[in-house]
Structure 1
Amino acid sequence: MLKRHSVLLFLVPVGIFFGILAGAFYSLIYDLPQINSLKQFKPSSVTTVFSSDNQILTRFYIEKRFPVSINKIPETLINALLTIEDRNFYSHWGINFKAIIRAIIHDIKAGKFKQGASTLTQQLAKTLFLTSEKSIVRKIKEAILALQIERRYTKDEILELYLNLIYLGSGAYGVEAASQTYFGKSVEDITLAQAALIAGLPKAPSVYSPIKNPDLAKKRRDIVLTQMLAAKKITPEEYNLTKSQKVILPSQKENQNQAGYFIEYIKAVLKKQFTLQDTYSKGFNIHTTLNLDLQSAANKSVLKRMTQLEIRMKKKGLDTSKVECALIAIDVKTGGILSMVGGKDFNKSVFNRAVQAQRQPGSAFKPLVYATAINQGFSQNDKLLDAPLSYHLDNNRTWQVNNFSKTYLGEITLRKALALSKNTPIVRLIEKIGTAKVIAFTKNAGVSSKLHANLSLALGTSEVTLIELTSSYIPFANMGIKVEPFSIQRITNSDSRIIFQTAVKKQSVMSRQNAAIMADMLKSVILEGTGKKAAVIQKDIAGKTGTTDNYKDALFVGFSPDIAVGVWVGNDDSTTLGKYETGAKAALPIWIDYMKHFLSNKSYQYFDIPDGTKMVYMDPNTGEISKTQTSHSIKALIKTKDLL
């Protein structure tokens, strides 16, 4: 009986001890994550944005990562990493008992939790499932997870996950991102020296980043090389040769700086299609419409011409701190945005004046009035009166319509009135056809900004954006067909499957004949009018200057058979650019530079001359048509029915 009582006294505390131990173990594993789905796990990866000529514009990411297969990771990098981080990786079960005992002894001597003794599998478990808290509990959980991972997955699968997940400094996650960040190349192409440098980063990525601390990065690299030599992973010759090499970082490309306004623009477009999480973490490839060569040409011209303008302004004693510029170029067949400049310097001002700023277009609005008239049956050889004009307004006010030149020519054709940008004829014209019809056509052509139904609308007093104004000229170059501007061609996912593709949106807003006549009338601006400077291009081009009161805004919007380009120059605070800083002087030179570059490698193309129209000799003053060319005649496109 006494013996039995003694056994019970022994078993009860033992049972209690093991119960407590089991409870403690259960509490440790109760909230551990399930690792069964690790094979389906896809880490956050980088979304890459490409130009239309397939150059990288920028990358979007939450974590800068480019997942790669272990087959693409060089053996030198794997050897370097395992040598410095986990030499027994291919032989242990996920934890290294010798290393743990050694770390415990070291921690006891140090009097605090200092050495980790984590295998790569434990590091992977911590990265995927746990925090960086330094505690015994976290280490036990880490070990349990490591054992589970090793039981379910092969060593190569574990290593591939680790190499794609590990943070390696300077915003780079995974070995491919590190290779591109530090060496400007794929991990497949790195040298032994570069592999050793990457392998040395996991211990303290921010400290050993070659961007932040190149000297420390080299010291750490050399430690890795020394360990590799000791482990006979490299020869003494390889060691000596590699150790003598300096750490060299590649020069950073500046494509993002070249297209900063465009990149911000497509971010806004993407927000309408995808969540921020998807855009920045799913590894999309975004193929845009922007042509980087044309964008570079636009940037160079803006820098050159704005510098010249600022010099002129300073000579007049004007403040240049607010002077800005915008350019937009659109493919007239598709609507693809080829170039976008939203200001002089994206780093100083992210406000995009090409798409966000609403400014008065001045005389650059006039073609939309003439187009409405042509749609209503007017011909370009019809005549308008160019003479002093005034209107009595409410409260005994008077609106005096003046020409910029302060001179008047009497009766002149629509063509000449447009070419010379006369004000009095077009105000008389809009009075005849009605503001409602002009607004209806302009809205149909692509302008969505509010337009005020008064006669001064003909002079461009209603504010619009540059992208609206430029796109409204597209029907003149495109057989009467409007196309909606867009910036993203298609988006593919990490499996190269198309998940989004832009469909070209077209709409006919005027007949092919009327569009051809408008293109011909706008050619007169360059051949015979305010845009003569552009004649230096010597190709089929057309466009219109625009200048607002007191030289606050200077514009030129024009096109060829392929492209429509709009340029605006002005001060952000709407103060004057200075006397005589017209559209022809301040904006047109940028347009000429850009169009010269665009057309330089293109064969000569002509504007459309459709059936039902005929090129004739016409007197621009009287509108009279002659069978042969005279000293006063010019060539003009007329509908054949108007010749009867």
Structure 2
Amino acid sequence: MNSTLKIIGLFFLIFILFLSTLVLILFLYLKISLPSISKLKSYRPKQVNLIVDRNDKIIGYLGEERRIFVPLKKIPPHVVRAFLAAEDANFYKHKGIDFFSLLRALFKNVISGKIVQGGSTITQQVAKSLLLSPERTFSRKFKEMILAWQMEKYLTKDEILTLYLNHIYLGEGAYGVEAAALTYFNKHVWELDLLEAATLAGLPPGPSRFSPVDNPQAALQRRNYVLRRMAEVGFISEGLANQLVTKPLLVNPKNVNIPAHSAYFIDLVKAEIEKLLPKEALEQGGYRIKTTLDLEWQKKGYENLINALRGLSKKDPPEVAAVCLANADGGVRFLLGGRNYLESTYNRAILGKRQAGSAFKPFIWAEALEKGVLNPNAILPDEPITLPGADAGKDWSPGNYDGKYMGPVSLKEALAHSRNTVAVRIALLLGIDRLTDLVRRLELKFPLPINLSIALGTYEVSPLELTSAFSVFPTLGQKVTPRFVETIYDQIFDGKVIYQSEPQSKEVFSPQTASIMNDFLQEVVRAGTGRCAVALRVPVGGKTGTTQEYKDAWFVGFTADYTCGVWVGYDKGRTLGKGETGGKIACPLWLSLMQGTSHTPKPLPFYIPPQDVTNSTSPSSEISPQ
């Protein structure tokens, strides 16, 4: 009997030694095959690049993963406690593995007949999501537990929690609590109330299943579970929990896709920053890109423009492109490249080259004044004119739009009523060399050699080019360079400036010439082809443009603060219809766009020669563009 017990004991001992050896070998094998946790110390997750407007309002996101890293100090305690209650209430007590929670979760799942709790600690979840594959195997679970134990020795609890709250997927393409807060509530994480925090904390087990957007009833039940768990573990009182679970589920989801109103602008910004930053840096993300856009104006102006455009033709509305620049610094405050980005991403505002028509005439008038070819009071004949044509043996006889002639007419009146014969006569007086120099100073890429038809706007420009050229008038002769990106920060929050654009301009005309032209172009609005712009109720200068067969309609106008250009037409260059001129179509659209923001009733700038300024006159008498 004793020998039998000894044999049994020996076999048992051998079995224990064998099992221990197997466990040791498995442990050593797993330890050797485990990924290193050292990278977690300096871990920088992939983030989105945040694009904001000039007032720091979010326009959109660029990047593979919509994650916005926030340090733990920016996450309110009630948000942290909501996640701890839902996922790992003993987080600050255990060493990476919580055996009690494993048993409790198993018990509750059995009682409920379904999985209502998970047993993994937050540390284990970090190990799984950052270091391991998502496969469900014993080997992966064992690795996860070993890594969690190691992580607790290598990282502080706050460091682990920071990784978790920034890395976790919370549905709708949002990674981390900040992106999720913006996605579901259009708030920063530090602005969330307790109900909103509990809603987010309920998402990790099933972001789609508990989505407050797609499955509000399931999200409500899950939110209330989190609130009761917070009371159960002592994070809030039971009375407060009972009160909160009676509240409805409220969300304010933000459209995180590229917004229709700003899509063309975002494309431009993306192209701009790809020139400024390395590709690898952009893919890693985490940059805050401050732009020159005025988001509120972009939204309202887009809505106004599209509604006005629909009124032109319900069956087949034409395309539209528009640009607004700040005269002070060239910042693009509004940009639209087409009526529907989803139908066409082609950006007509910068790529669409079309004839400017009569919208180019102000530059011909200004050059004649600048070069002293004509004085402001000059009188020219508005009469038929015939010149040698571009083709040998053929004459060119440009006529006026209305087929009528006014006879002797002042420069101001001729521009206000857009007289073609006067424009051609001025171009003839200037000569090809001066016209070529004008094009060079305006930085327009017209094919050379220039011919006299330039006076009628036969050369093609984009809305951005023409609008930028018009900025010479409200800035007293300085053509501003359009800017899209203002500042780039190396971090989304509290980052350092790594790029700063500076306003640039160059003199095209003298202040005296620009001042005279401001008066002339206000007459276009007061009594000429741009009369619809009077309804803006602030001083406005501008010029309409219509091309042959009514294929293009333009209006470029300016106030003391902004220069805005609008083009209307079809991509294939077909007619808008007889009589559909810049004054009839483009000017009302321009007005609707400008009514999307507020304007101060400041007069347009004018030039006072220094010798005319008396000692009693303040320096502000010489009015600057801003």
Do both share a fold (TM > 0.5)? yes
In the alignment, structure 1 residue 270 sits paired with structure 2 residue 273:
yes
Shift of 1:336: 0.9
Taking the TM superposition and a 5 Å limit, the aligned residue runs for 1:607-618 are: 607-611=605-609
In the alignment, structure 1 residue 259 sits paired with structure 2 residue 262:
yes
Q: Which 5+ residue runs of structure 1 have no aligned equivalent? A: 1-11, 108-114, 312-319, 615-644
Q: Deviations over 1:277-309 (max 9, x none)?
A: 534653322222222343345224313432332
Q: Deviations over 1:188-242 (max 9, x none)?
A: 4444443333232221222212112112222333333444454455444233323
Q: 1:469 to 1:601 in 2, by over 3 A?
A: closer
Q: Distance in 2 between matches of 1:53 and 1:603?
A: 23
RMSD: 3.6
CA contact 1:452–1:462 (8 Å) conserved in 2: no
Matched residue of 2:460: which SS?
A: coil
Q: Distance in 2 between matches of 1:206 and 1:338?
A: 38
Q: Which residue pairs with 2:553 in the alignment?
A: 554
Q: Percent identity?
A: 38
Q: Deviations over 1:311-357 (max 9, x none)?
A: 6xxxxxxxx42512222111122111121122233344333222221
Q: 1:306 aligns with which of 300, 309, 312?
A: 309
Q: 2:360 aligns with which of 358, 365, 385?
A: 365
Shift of 1:547: 0.4
Q: Which residue pairs with 2:211 in the alignment?
A: 209
Q: 1:219 to 1:608 in 2, by over 3 A?
A: same
Q: 2:70 aligns with which of 45, 63, 68?
A: 68
CA contact 2:87–2:122 (8 Å) conserved in 1: yes
CA contact 2:182–2:254 (8 Å) conserved in 1: no
Q: Which residue pairs with 2:385 in the alignment?
A: 389
Q: 2:603 aligns with which of 602, 605, 609?
A: 605
In the alignment, structure 1 residue 448 sits paired with structure 2 residue 445:
yes
Q: 1:204 to 1:277 in 2, by over 3 A?
A: farther
Q: 1:38 to 1:323 in 2, by over 3 A?
A: same
Q: Distance in 1 between matches of 2:286 and 2:575?
A: 47
Q: Deviations over 1:70-124 (max 9, x none)?
A: 34444444444334433443333222456679999999xxxxxxx9843221111
My pick for the range that moved more, 267-276 or 221-230, is 221-230
Q: Distance in 1 between matches of 2:187 and 2:604?
A: 45
In the alignment, structure 1 residue 458 sits paired with structure 2 residue 455:
yes
Matched residue of 1:434: which SS?
A: helix
Q: 1:491 aligns with which of 475, 488, 491?
A: 488
Q: 1:384 to 1:294 in 2, by over 3 A?
A: same
Q: Which residue pairs with 2:185 in the alignment?
A: 183
Q: Which residue pairs with 2:540 in the alignment?
A: 541
Matched residue of 2:198: which SS?
A: helix
Letter in 1 for 2:37: I
Q: Distance in 2 between matches of 1:193 and 1:308?
A: 44
Q: 1:406 to 1:51 in 2, by over 3 A?
A: same
Q: Which residue pairs with 1:321 in the alignment?
A: 316
TM-score by length of 2: 0.84
Taking the TM superposition and a 5 Å limit, the aligned residue runs for 1:569-608 are: 569-595=568-594, 601-608=599-606
Matched residue of 1:389: which SS?
A: coil
Shift of 1:398: 4.1
Matched residue of 2:349: which SS?
A: coil
Q: 1:604 to 1:198 in 2, by over 3 A?
A: closer
CA contact 1:298–1:327 (8 Å) conserved in 2: no
Q: Deviations over 1:620-639 (max 9, x none)?
A: xxxxxxxxxxxxxxxxxxxx
CA contact 1:554–1:587 (8 Å) conserved in 2: yes
Q: Which residue pairs with 1:345 in the alignment?
A: 340
Letter in 1 for 2:143: K
Shift of 1:160: 2.5
Q: Distance in 2 between matches of 1:81 and 1:529?
A: 66
Q: Deviations over 1:28-52 (max 9, x none)?
A: 3345333234333232334332222
In the alignment, structure 1 residue 403 sits paired with structure 2 residue 430:
no
CA contact 2:67–2:175 (8 Å) conserved in 1: yes
Q: Which residue pairs with 1:173 in the alignment?
A: 175
Q: Distance in 1 between matches of 2:526 and 2:353?
A: 30
Q: Deviations over 1:523-561 (max 9, x none)?
A: 332344322343455644322111011111111112233
Q: Distance in 1 between matches of 2:78 and 2:296?
A: 39
Q: Distance in 2 between matches of 1:243 and 1:104?
A: 26
Q: Distance in 1 between matches of 2:72 and 2:340?
A: 43
Q: Distance in 1 between matches of 2:365 and 2:611?
A: 18
Q: Deviations over 1:587-637 (max 9, x none)?
A: 112333445665x651432431332899xxxxxxxxxxxxxxxxxxxxxxx
Q: Which residue pairs with 1:335 in the alignment?
A: 330
CA contact 2:184–2:253 (8 Å) conserved in 1: no
Q: 1:37 to 1:79 in 2, by over 3 A?
A: same
Q: Which residue pairs with 2:620 in the alignment?
A: none
CA contact 2:554–2:587 (8 Å) conserved in 1: yes
Q: Distance in 2 between matches of 1:93 and 1:136?
A: 20
Q: Distance in 2 between matches of 1:235 and 1:366?
A: 75
Taking the TM superposition and a 5 Å limit, the aligned residue runs for 1:464-483 are: 464-483=461-480
CA contact 2:301–2:594 (8 Å) conserved in 1: no
CA contact 1:383–1:414 (8 Å) conserved in 2: yes
TM-score by length of 1: 0.82
Q: Deviations over 1:492-511 (max 9, x none)?
A: 23233111111111211222
Q: Distance in 1 between matches of 2:89 and 2:527?
A: 81
CA contact 1:63–1:281 (8 Å) conserved in 2: no
Q: Distance in 2 between matches of 1:233 and 1:595?
A: 52
Q: Which residue pairs with 1:419 in the alignment?
A: 416
Shift of 1:484: 0.3
Matched residue of 1:258: which SS?
A: coil
Q: Distance in 2 between matches of 1:133 and 1:54?
A: 41
Q: Distance in 2 between matches of 1:297 and 1:182?
A: 23
Aligned length: 591
Q: Which 5+ residue runs of structure 2 have no aligned equivalent? A: 1-13, 110-116, 613-626
CA contact 2:439–2:446 (8 Å) conserved in 1: no
Matched residue of 1:48: which SS?
A: strand
Q: Distance in 2 between matches of 1:613 and 1:411?
A: 34
Q: Distance in 2 between matches of 1:200 and 1:596?
A: 44
Shift of 1:132: 0.7
Shift of 1:276: 5.1
Q: 1:528 to 1:211 in 2, by over 3 A?
A: closer
Q: Distance in 2 between matches of 1:522 and 1:228?
A: 68
CA contact 2:518–2:604 (8 Å) conserved in 1: no
My pick for the range that moved more, 133-142 or 443-452, is 443-452
In the alignment, structure 1 residue 91 sits paired with structure 2 residue 93:
yes
Q: Distance in 2 between matches of 1:228 and 1:344?
A: 50
